[in-house]
Chain A
Amino acid sequence: MTDPDREAALSEIRAAVAQLCARYGEAYWRKLDSEQGYPTEFVAEMTEAGFLGALIPEEYGGTGLGLLEACAILEEISRRGAHAGACHAQLYVMGVILRHGSAAQKAEWLPKIASGEIRLQSFGVTEPTTGTDTTALKTTARREGESWIVNGQKVWISRVQHSDLMVLLARTRPFDAKRKTEGLSAFLVDLREARGRGLEVRPIDAMINHHACELFFDDLAIPAENLIGEEGGGWPVILTGMNAERILIAAECVGDGRYFLDRASAYAKERVVFGRPIGANQGVAFPLARAHADVEAAALMVERAANLYEAGRPCGAEANMAKLLAAEASWKAGDAAMQTFGGFAFSKEYHVERKFRETRLYQIAPISTNLILSFLAEKVLGLPRSF
């Protein structure tokens, strides 16, 4: 259990985020969704109010808070009908620099990320021909003098057009089937300089407004000092941030789930057909009640994973389970909300359908449910490897 003082601060954080979100409202998000627009003003205000710098230590200009506070922020954004995916990465991608960057890289970038002067909210890993089989990725970087020269392709890289920097994973040594995770390196790409000089960015027409793009690298030169961590040691650099990311995404899903239940319960109390509120029918009430139980159970796993993470203890299984359970719970809650709203669920004016589409993402990205099940089967239950 979280101590009462911290609990009080968490509820204040939630209240402040809710107040900020109220200034935008769901019509704002609906409009952006229809235009594939980016919530520039919202993100600027979130940054200015310090919420996106929550995980950056105070010495670098952030607030130096824990994962629970960051979870509360993303959960509340989602719960208020906003799309946290537009800004979540600014909170955590910087962890790569914080944990693996050199003193110079930290001093150069972290204060600017905390103030919002620099947006580091793109993370380039996925490739079209290798997908989930990450270590097989084909983008390469070769050293030439004071530069790394990058060639290859990425797909589904979010917010590239709304980010100044991107963390990139590329092969710097040939693939060795026996040592798959070796020979990958992580880089910081300055997108402002890279575009048009070896990097081409093509937005993907997608189901949700997540600003994901295809990236094409053709002899893109990155300064040698932009390597993060050691050459060939990029895998652990990427991996250490993943548990935090999963827990944060899971918190977003909990927020989505609570959003659906807030909205659907309110509607089921008001909507009268057959002379009584539809919520008086157990056929309507029970799916909502069950979804509530699922969402709250997932919330407990999120809290447990976050506690372990903060204590510096292993939390891979819990972080993955939190993501799996929360993503499925929010989807079920969304489905129950869709059914409750009846035909009106399909009207964009009611917003539920937008959130329903948005929350679906998290069963696929940043890691799909099957891969989590495979991790649990193999690493936790000790079952034979399937791949």
Chain B
Amino acid sequence: MKVLVPVKRVIDYNVKVRVKADGSGVDLANVKMSMNPFDEIAVEQAIRLKEAGKAEEIVAVSIGVKQAQETLRTALAMGADRAILIVAADDVNTDIEPLAVAKLLKAVADEEQPGLILCGKQAIDNDMNATGQMLAALLGWAQATFTSELEIENGQAKATREVDGGLQVISVKMPAVVSVDLRLNEPRYASLPNIMKAKKKPLDEKTPADYGVDVAPRLSVVSTSEPATRKAGVKVADVAELVSKLKNEAGVL
């Protein structure tokens, strides 16, 4: 079985995000970028499937600016076998929308015929949580989202899903799209020999035109703003005052 893993280049999760002065988005110039953490988990899961003898080949795909090459190299260093980069933007500030990404991934899937697509549940930059679902719909495949445990057996993917207030276990027919959640695994870091070997693994470069997909935006960003700063708290004199405030002002008791 071949596993396809889409990986997105996003602002590093350690970076303190700054909103651009004109509110058009987040400042990405000279900011550290990394692989979307949920995608790292997807890559890790694909590697574990390969190590368990359940997958033969792992193909990582990234859609975005040319620099996403680095993200793909990381996936290759972790253990993916080859990579496809679809250069769909020149400007690092351009975000390709989920539907366009899903259409491109569908085209790649049509070509590659994977048995499983493992993707992050969402990208930490825009938190859309849409690409996996759209992709499953376009392909007409089964999907399992928010997966925190995964077993592949007899053409079925058994996924434990993190739903509100508990866990749900579903079994879906393969080929399927599985989107992964935080607790699925702890991704490995690349070993030094693997970082060096990754340089020799194939990385194909494509454009959206190669797949006949239009990536022009359909949404426009109206404004972006920092979260409101927390207001200072108040000190209460004693427990009685606290209880009274919780009851009468906050209305939580």
Given contacts A8-B73, A11-B70, contact A16 B190 (CB under 8 A): yes
Stretch from B100-108, B126-134, B162-170, B192-200 that touches the partner:
B192-200
Assess the B191–A49 pair: CB atoms within 8 A.
yes
Within 8 Å by CB of A65, from B69, B77, B194, B196, lies B196
| Interface residue? A63 (CB, 8 A) | yes
Assess the A16–B192 pair: CB atoms within 8 A.
yes
Inside 8 A of B194's CB, which chain A residues have their CB? 50
Least distance between B187 CB and chain A CB atoms (Å): 8
Within 8 Å by CB of B70, from A8, A48, A65, lies A8
Assess the B73–A50 pair: CB atoms within 8 A.
no
| Interface residue? A13 (CB, 8 A) | yes
Assess the B192–A50 pair: CB atoms within 8 A.
yes
Which residues of chain B from 35 to 81 have any CB-CB distance to chain A below 8 Å in the complex?
69-70, 73-74, 77
Least distance between B47 CB and chain A CB atoms (Å): 15
Assess the B191–A12 pair: CB atoms within 8 A.
no
Which residues of chain A from 169 to 185 have any CB-CB distance to chain B below 8 Å in the complex?
none
A-B pairs under 8 A by CB, number: 46
Given contacts A8-B70, A15-B34, A16-B77, contact A50 B189 (CB under 8 A): no
What's the Cα separation between A20 and B195 when bound, in Å? 14
Give the total of A residues in contact with B, Cβ under 8 Å: 20
Assess the B74–A12 pair: CB atoms within 8 A.
yes
Q: Determine the residue in chain A with the shortest Cβ distance to B199.
A: A9
Which residues of chain B from 174 to 217 have any CB-CB distance to chain A below 8 Å in the complex?
189-196, 198-199
Inside 8 A of A51's CB, which chain B residues have their CB? 192
Inside 8 A of B191's CB, which chain A residues have their CB? 16, 48-50
Inside 8 A of B199's CB, which chain A residues have their CB? 5, 9
Name, among B69, B73, B196, the residue most crowded by chain A CB atoms within 10 Å (CB to CB). Answer: B196
Interface size class of B (residues with CB under 8 A): 10 to 19
| Interface residue? A19 (CB, 8 A) | yes
Least distance between B232 CB and chain A CB atoms (Å): 11
Least distance between A114 CB and chain B CB atoms (Å): 10
Assess the A49–B192 pair: CB atoms within 8 A.
yes
Assess the B73–A53 pair: CB atoms within 8 A.
no
Inside 8 A of B192's CB, which chain A residues have their CB? 13, 16, 49-51, 53-54, 63, 65, 73
| Main DSSP-derived SS at the B contact region | helix
Least distance between A21 CB and chain B CB atoms (Å): 10
Assess the B193–A50 pair: CB atoms within 8 A.
yes
Inside 8 A of A13's CB, which chain B residues have their CB? 192, 195
What's the Cα separation between A51 and B192 when bound, in Å? 6
Q: Determine the residue in chain B with the shortest Cβ distance to A17.
A: B189
Least distance between A57 CB and chain B CB atoms (Å): 13
Q: Determine the residue in chain A with the shortest Cβ distance to B196.
A: A63
Least distance between B50 CB and chain A CB atoms (Å): 19
Which residues of chain B from 135 to 153 have any CB-CB distance to chain A below 8 Å in the complex?
none
Which residues of chain A from 1 to 39 have any CB-CB distance to chain B below 8 Å in the complex?
5, 8-9, 11-13, 15-17, 19-20
What's the Cα separation between A9 and B197 when bound, in Å? 11
Which residues of chain A from 302 to 361 have any CB-CB distance to chain B below 8 Å in the complex?
none
Least distance between A273 CB and chain B CB atoms (Å): 15
Within 8 Å by CB of B189, from A11, A49, A54, A73, lies A49
Inside 8 A of B190's CB, which chain A residues have their CB? 12, 16
Assess the B196–A20 pair: CB atoms within 8 A.
no
Assess the A19–B189 pair: CB atoms within 8 A.
yes
Assess the A63–B193 pair: CB atoms within 8 A.
yes
What's the Cα separation between A271 and B77 when bound, in Å? 39
20 contacts between A and B (CB under 8 A): A8-B70, A9-B195, A12-B70, A12-B73, A12-B190, A15-B34, A15-B74, A15-B189, A16-B189, A16-B191, A16-B192, A17-B189, A49-B189, A50-B191, A50-B193, A51-B192, A54-B192, A63-B192, A65-B192, A65-B196
Minimum-distance CB pairs A-B, first 9: A50-B192, A19-B189, A49-B191, A16-B189, A16-B190, A50-B193, A50-B191, A12-B195, A51-B192
For the A-B complex with A8-B73, A9-B199, A16-B195 known, give 19 more contacts whose Cβ atoms are closer than 8 Å.
Answer: A5-B199, A8-B69, A9-B196, A12-B73, A12-B190, A13-B192, A15-B34, A16-B77, A16-B189, A16-B190, A16-B192, A20-B189, A49-B189, A49-B191, A50-B192, A51-B192, A65-B192, A65-B196, A73-B192
Chain B residues engaging chain A, CB cutoff 8 angstroms: 34, 69-70, 73-74, 77, 189-196, 198-199
